[in-house]
Structures are given as C-alpha cells and as structure tokens.
Structure 1
Amino acid sequence: MAEKLRIDKYLWSIRLFKTRSLATDACKAGRVKKEGTNIKPSHEVKVGEVYQVSKAIEKKTIKVLELLPSRVDAKKAVLAYADLTPPEETAKYKSMFHSPVLKRDRGTGRPTKKDRRDIDELSDGFFGDDED
C-alpha cells in the first residue's frame, strides 16, 4: 500500500481515466476539484478525501477508501473508492443515451408514404435535423 500518491495516478489506477496523461490533463484543465477548488496533478491523495471529477458530460463525486499504487482490474478498482454521485445525476447522464428506437418488423418492406410521414413526425427535432 502506498503512503504518498498523486491524484492523477490515483484517478488512472481506479480506472476513471483510460490513461494517466488524460487524468493529468483533466487536473490541469480544472475538471478535478476538492471542496470546489481546482487541484494540481501533483496533489497528494489521502484516504477519506472527497473529489469532484468531470469527465466530458459525466460528473462524479468520489471518496477515497484505499490508495492504489498501480492500476488494477476493474473489480478491485471499484473497492478503492466510494461513488457519492447523486442518483439523479447518474440517471441524467445515462438518459442521454436512450433515444427512441425506430424499428420496423422484419419483412414488412419499404415504408409507405404515410409510414414515412409518421416516422418523420415522431423523430421531428429529436435528431437535430430541423429543416423547416
């Protein structure tokens, strides 16, 4: 178990970022905060501290439970931190990926003109193709 650990290495080791350089860049860009204050990539992580991490549109709040000196598999990585992100924030992020599924039964052939109008009306404005 490590006694001193940088925040960029910790975020990489718990698999919040794919590479350590991405974690470093996130710290430099101000997307990793402790108590609302931006922290540098060299910030020392301590057990019990709470961090807010913004990754694209996803925002996570994590509490450090264990220091990991190196990257471990996903099952062990999840045990090293507690996810304090409010459920509504997580649901908001996940709901962005659920769009209406326009599916037709197999073997029904091409849509008729009426079917096409119904499909256009259903998807109007949802996919950002406002032509009117």
Structure 2
Amino acid sequence: MDAGAPETVIRLDKWLWYARFFKTRSAASKAISAGRFRLDGQVMTKPHRQALCGQVLTFVQGDRVRVIKVVAIGTRRGPAPEAALLFEDLAPVEATPRKVAKTKPPEFEARGKGSGRPTKRQRRETDRLKTGLESDED
C-alpha cells in the first residue's frame, strides 16, 4: 500500500471503535467474540475480520437493535460528527422509544413524633431501669 493512500480495509473491532459504538477497542473485540454480531447476515466471532465499505453490520446496543451500513473506513477515532460519517443507520426509527419497566421506590410513611430513635435522656432512663437504679430527674 502507498503511504499516502487511504485505507480500504480495517479490522472490524477497530472500525467499531472509530465509529464510536464502543468506548474501547477491547470492549468491541469482546462483544464480537461473544458472537453477538452479524456481518452481512452471518454470525461472526472473530474481531479481526475486515470491515469493507458496503457491508451491513447487525448488533444489539443497549435496548435497540442496530443495523449499520459501513459507508467509509476511518483513519482515526475523531469527534462524534466525524464518526457519524463512517456509517449509515438502516434500522427503522421507532415511533415511541421502548421504555424499561421501572419499579417504584417504596414509599415510606412519616413516623410519628417519639417513635424514632430514643434520645440520650430516654436511653439513660432505660439503662437505669435495667440495672435497678432509681430514676433521678435532672
């Protein structure tokens, strides 16, 4: 290859990192090795596979299924607007985003006055009762 010519192929894990689908290249490599990716409809488990322009990549990211077409091969991990130029999103846009069912936090009732932790004075009185000493009022 010529030193000044742009690359036409790149490792898939590296491309996913360039396109900002993963924070680290090793995270992209682990996800591919787990077999959660399809490249042109075939399940893949090798992160060193080459990404070529025009290939379609399908994978799950968070709670959505991503269908991505490789449009360009990057030369670096640049800012997000630059990374967005590397792919075309083919997944249908959902009319309403899927909401994850969240459980409500338990609602606590306010305690009545005096039903909480005993005061220092009340604790001393309890100690005196337990030891059999007479209660001295201060």
* Structure 2 counterparts to residues 6-85 of structure 1, below 5 A: 6-39=11-44, 40-85=46-91
TM superposition shift of 1:128: 6.0
The match for 1:96 among 95, 99, 119 is 99
Structure in which a larger fraction of residues adopt helix? 1
Report the Cα distance in structure 2 between the residues aligned to 1:47 and 1:35, rounded to whole angstroms.
12
CA contact (8 A) 1:32 1:51 kept: yes
Q: TM-score, normalised by structure 2?
A: 0.64
Query: Where in structure 1 do 4 or more consecutive aligned residues deviate above 6 Å?
Result: none
CA contact (8 A) 1:10 1:69 kept: no
CA contact (8 A) 2:40 2:55 kept: no
Question: Which stretches in structure 1 are left out of the alignment for 5+ residues?
Answer: 100-125
TM superposition shift of 1:52: 0.2
Percent identical:
32
Report the Cα distance in structure 1 between the residues aligned to 2:103 and 2:65, rounded to whole angstroms.
24
Q: TM-score, normalised by structure 1?
A: 0.66
1:52-81, Cα deviation, whole Å (9 max, x unpaired) = 021242320000110013211100110110
Question: Which stretches in structure 2 are left out of the alignment for 5+ residues?
Answer: 1-5, 107-138
CA contact (8 A) 1:31 1:55 kept: no
Report the Cα distance in structure 2 between the residues aligned to 1:37 and 1:91, rounded to whole angstroms.
30
CA contact (8 A) 1:33 1:51 kept: yes
Does 1:127 find its partner at 2:103? yes
Root mean square deviation of aligned Cα: 2.3
Report the Cα distance in structure 1 between the residues aligned to 2:68 and 2:31, rounded to whole angstroms.
15
Report the count of equivalent residues: 100
Larger Rg: 2
The answer to which structure, 1 or 2, has the higher relative contact order (CA under 8 A, 6+ apart) is 1
